[in-house]
Chain A
Amino acid sequence: MNKWLSIAKKGLLYSFDTIVNSYAVVFFSNNVLFGLLLLLASFIDPLAGICGLIGVISANVFSRIIGLNKDFIRKGYHGYDAMLVASGIAHFYSFNQTVLLVIICVGIFSTLISFLVHGILHKYNLPTLSFPFLISIWLVFSAFPSMHTMQVHPELIYSLNEKQKASGFNLAHWMEIIDQLEQNFLQFPKMVNVYLKSLSSLFFQSNVLSGLLIALGLLIYSRIAFSLSILGFVTAYFFYPILGGDVADFYEKFIGLNFIFLAIAIGGIYLVPCFASYLITVVLTPLLIIILFGLNKILYMVGLAPYSLPFTLLTILFLYVLNYRVSFKYIHRVYHQEFSPEKNLYNFLNSNHRLRLFNFFPIHLPFWGEWMVSQAHDGKITHLGEWSKAFDFIILDNEMKSYQNPGQTVDDFYCFNKPVVACADGYVSAIVDNVEDNDVKGVNTLQNWGNSMVIYHADGLYSQVSHLKMGSLKYGVGDFVKKGEIIAYCGNSGRSPEPHIHFQLQESPFIGAKTLDFPLAYYIKRENKKFSLHTFSKPIEGELIQGIEVNPLLKSAYELIPGAKLNWKIKEEGKELKTQNWEVFTDSINASYIFCHDTKAVAYFYNDGNMIVFTSFYGSKKSLLYHFYLANYKLALGYYQDLIIIENYPIATISIKFLNFIQDFFAPFYRFVSANFTMKYVFIDDINITSEIILESSAEIRVLGFKSKAFQYSTNLRVNKINEFIITTSKTKIVAICENYIY
């Protein structure tokens, strides 16, 4: 019985989601509340509302029957076009059996057509937008004149009311109430009125109340989207009369929404919201008006209206062209769509600084120990033209000399004959191993690259090391090499007056190919005795760098493999002893997370053996896991005394809700709330044979630069595990001891 109940509950929840999301997704959202408000707004005209709902259901049921992706249906991808078309039909035609049949058919048709459009556009990394809706609505509207059972409202809404009166349902009364309401309570300046009516034109309505509901939903869903909708609208409101139009068209011809959609799509959904994206929105709006006029004229000839076609065309055109740009300085496309401008923005900020590891193939340094960058990208000596994105490395002593004794033979140079290791896993694709090493100051310009090895790492990503010692290459073409494995020894062959390693990344498998501007995954830079960690960046000339030397204790303590269990005993002054039990899982896309059985909190993390990075947290902010997530936000698995790692948290996961709400409005330009993470490597008993490490970290929220909230953490690692985790706030101190750590 219970089983059936739970299945029914699940089914109901699923159906609810499919419907609500089909509404929300119109505004690129997946916010349930927004979806509900949209649903409500569509029911301001109850018949149109019902028709829309039927459209959604028919599309979703059809999609489910033919076996389309369940999750996509749930997200509303298949329902929204049907809903919009159905609303349109209900607006223009009086309701009868034929209309019902047509709506159901249109639901199916729009699903089919949306797949076709998606199939075509997706290849170019472009969204589908309104195309399925437009094709469907034009098709049915063109079909209707030949369907004599369809009856157009002579005077639209009012005549509809009379028809309804005749059929016994008093809709006129309802519409009167709405009218009264608008006249008595919802009196706004003209511009606001037009704005709200434009919004309501989504459902082919032109009333302030439903516009108000949609605006409210938009505000709840996203402050950025809300402000963008106003920006787009106001710009259009200003330019439209200048270009010779009448703003009444916005709601009478249902075209006002074009400006709002364009602003949201370009300003915050497909581009990361920022000053440039706002500016582009403003610039594109007058263009959109002209496109609109043009399309209006063209489509009028076949008796159709453009609806959302102008916005769809312009957005797709713009995004298509963006695919071909070569400079990425000001405008950033959203690659992982979060369906919220805020999330897109915060994710972008986060990933730009912290999670770059998800964007690049990790390439490590091709040596052990500390070397100096003697020539970096665009070096003045030999890193020129097409070969400018390369590095040269040498070894220096404390006096910054690269050789001992008089430095007259290559053996005097510290780097000569030192191991060169593979920078990442891959297959050897080209080698040269028979060029004699030069004497010091001798240069072999005929065999420029000297002894070299090119390794294939991924399609279009090869690495090359050059000037190797003759006869020192350990692998031949086709061999597989593992990251960190010795592949050869540093030499002085080719165009190399003194021993050094030349290291470059390239797109093709040939020795001496054009270089590729690609960052190095991780390295530690040393200035005097101060270490700093650099992730996915490019060292510059003169820097002393080394790869992360992984510490076995750090590695094993954070080896949170699926199935690992951590049982915590939590002591807080004046409170009862608590226990919380964690377990590590992986999800379907192989992302690892810690799940707390007691609080149901979830913290996602990423561990690649060099770094551990916590990516997101869901659940109670009172749980121990929440603090663990904050405390271990980013961690290099090598120990460097007094190394400090500084990061920003995505503000939403730590800050105060109200402050976030306010900040969202300004976030694309200026963020006055910041949440800072600091990690310090405080203590190690021994760097080589380690049995204890203490890490101290802190999480701080700053509002306009002033500290408003702070947590101090201390993590103690001992005997291959996380031993103790201490949380200190201004009010209390919590000591959590890891009782059990089971793999």
Chain B
Amino acid sequence: MKTEKLKYERPAIRKMNTGLMNKFGTRTEYAPFTHIDGVSVKELINKYGSPCFVISERTIRKTYQNAVRAFKTRYPKVQFAWSYKTNYIDAVCNVFHQEGSWAEVVSIFEYTKAIENGVPGNKIIFNGPEKTKADLKVALENNSYIHVDHFDELYDLIELTQELKKTAKVAIRVNMDTGVYPMWDRFGFNYESGQAWNAINKIMASEYLEMVGLHCHIGTFMLDPNAYAVAASKLSDLAVNIKYVFNKTIQYLDLGGGFPSANTLRGAYLPGPDMIPSIDEFAEVITNTILNYGYKKEDLPLLILETGRAMIDDAGYLLGSVIANKRLSDGRRATIMDFGVNILFTAFWYEHKITPAQEFSSHTEDMVIYGPLCMNIDVVRSSVTLPALNRGDHVVVHKVGAYNMTQWMQFIAMRPKVTLIDTNGNSHIIRENETVKTITEPERMPDHLKTFNL
């Protein structure tokens, strides 16, 4: 039997700190996290460098199928659309498209990405407040669903369709009071004020616009499923009225996204997994509301969901290594990692779970985790109980799949590789790390600045 040498742990003097009552105690609840889908973290870091993002294809598919099942067993017609802004790395998008997801995009950049991924035009939902006339034209020609955000866009679209004599498939985004504040009333047309109905009237009166759906997106990281019941019933009210007044059957209700992932929000008392409602609870209220709203059976609209975060967050991991340890002036321990808020943007609002990737002793200590940036804001966790880590030790940050690989910044350091572990346990690079060339290539040097003497 191979016996491993006991790990050396340097002695430390700790301040006695009773702190607040804490039923979880001071011990870390984590076990070392050495493997992702059976692939060793150490091996991954050796192969792809540190830091590096890892995405589990298996987790994506499982989460997606679970969500689909939650809805499809409750409601006959359900379609998911992959929210590109959550993670638009092509390989990730394609996993969703393989599973049957449409694309939901909010800019011509994302739109083009979806088209280049091979998503048929009629399976792209074009959302967002910024759609230029040129953008609209592209969407129109591809027969995509255009979700109108404001009247100015609507007028542009009416003008454009008349010019081209081509019918656009449109929906309006509706904002409403669902009892969750602050209200997201900056997007779309307001329901309570009658603005939405006004927009619907304008669409129904236009020759080349076909009203196909109604869309809302009531917020993000929603913790109350009942808000969706309110949203579904308000959208249904519009749909039923459209049927009544115009004898037009609305083909779909798009309830948007906003379902939370199991991350812990900053300042939350309980950890995320104990607090968030399951996808089943959301499915339950949404489908119940629509089914009991009083649609004729043949008029039951397709239910579209654009949930992003809840689909991908769990599948993303960030692997990193310890750069240094130090003591702060107040005696607290600080650990400096090779990843910071530049690539882990969500550290601003989540208390990410961080686990050492190798065996550790039972002694833990409250510490601050800093990133490598030479900026004061670069704090990954302001307070976390972890065992003492040595320089070069590896850690795994969990649930980082959403919004990091789209909101990350090339600031001070360059962005690392993104890898994917497929369902057979093979790893692939799905995005190369940046090099100096990546950054400097688009830069242009005026002639007079080309040379200098120091």
Contacts and interface: CB of A to CB of B under 8 A. Distances in A.
B252 A689 contact: yes
Contact of A689 (B65, B212, B297): B212
Interface in B20-65: 61-62, 65
Contacts of A689: 122, 212, 251-252, 302
B66 interface: yes
Interface stretch (B75-83, B324-332, B367-375, B408-416): B75-83
Contact of A418 (B74, B123, B297, B298): B74
B158 interface: no
B62 A688 contact: no
Given A397-B66, A417-B284, A688 B252 contact: yes
Contacts of A415: 73
Given A397-B65, A398-B65, A689-B302, A414 B73 contact: yes
A685 B297 contact: no
B252 A397 contact: no
B291 interface: yes
B291 A486 contact: yes
A397 B69 contact: yes
Contact of A404 (B66, B251, B284, B297): B66
B248 interface: no
Secondary structure call for the B interface? helix
B104 to A, nearest CB: 14
Interface string B235-262: 0000000000000000110000000000
A87 to B, nearest CB: 63
B143 to A, nearest CB: 9
Interface string A465-488: 000000000000000001011100
Contacts of A685: 120, 122
B188 to A, nearest CB: 21
A176 interface: no
A531 interface: no
B72 interface: yes
Contacts of A419: 73-74, 291
A587 B372 CA distance: 84
B13 to A, nearest CB: 42
A739 interface: no
Contact of A688 (B61, B77, B291): B77
Interface in A481-524: 482, 484-486
Q: Which of B61, B69, B75, B298 has the most CB of A within 10 A?
A: B69
A369 B122 contact: no
Interface string A711-722: 000000000000
Q: Classify chain A's interface size.
A: 20 to 34
Contacts of A418: 73-74
A417 B79 CA distance: 21
A368 B75 contact: yes
Interface string A529-573: 000000000000000000001001000000000000000000000
A395 interface: yes
Interface string A352-391: 0000000000000001111000000000000000000000
Nearest to A395: B73
B34 to A, nearest CB: 23
Nearest to A419: B74
Contact of B62 (A398, A417, A484, A486): A398
Nearest to A414: B69
Nearest to A367: B73
A547 to B, nearest CB: 9
Nearest to B120: A685
Interface in B115-130: 120, 122-123
B301 to A, nearest CB: 10
A398 B64 CA distance: 11
Nearest to B169: A689
B432 to A, nearest CB: 32
Contacts of B73: 367-369, 395, 414-415, 418-419
Contacts of B251: 689
Nearest to A483: B297
Contacts of A246: none
Contacts of B297: 482, 484-485
Contacts of A552: 298
Contacts of A598: none
A86 B61 CA distance: 84
B302 to A, nearest CB: 5
B255 to A, nearest CB: 14
Nearest to A547: B76
Interface string A621-660: 0000000000000000000000000000000000000000
Contacts of A691: 122
A489 to B, nearest CB: 10
A417 B74 CA distance: 9
A688 B79 contact: yes
A155 interface: no
Given A484-B297, A685-B122, A368 B76 contact: yes
B277 to A, nearest CB: 12
A459 interface: no
A253 B162 CA distance: 93
Contact of B72 (A369, A404, A482): A369
A686 interface: yes
A395 B69 contact: yes
Contacts of A369: 69, 72-73, 76
A302 B74 CA distance: 78
B126 to A, nearest CB: 15
A412 to B, nearest CB: 10
A56 B212 CA distance: 69
Interface in B281-313: 284, 291, 297-298, 302
A484 B300 CA distance: 13
A552 B62 CA distance: 30
Contacts of B120: 685-686
B454 to A, nearest CB: 63
Q: Which of B120, B212, B302 has the most CB of A within 10 A?
A: B302
Nearest to B100: A687
Q: Which of A397, A414, A485, A688 has the most CB of B within 10 A?
A: A688
A356 B252 CA distance: 36
A418 B61 CA distance: 22
A368 B69 CA distance: 11
Nearest to A415: B73
Contacts of B75: 368
Nearest to B65: A398
B247 to A, nearest CB: 15
16 contacts: A368-B74, A368-B75, A369-B72, A369-B73, A370-B72, A395-B69, A397-B65, A398-B62, A404-B66, A419-B291, A685-B120, A688-B79, A689-B122, A689-B212, A689-B302, A691-B122
Which 9 A-B pairs rank lowest in CB-CB distance, beginning with the nearest?
A: A369-B73, A688-B302, A369-B72, A418-B73, A688-B79, A368-B76, A689-B251, A398-B65, A688-B77
Given A369-B69, A398-B65, A411-B280, 5 more contacts: A369-B76, A370-B72, A418-B74, A685-B122, A686-B122
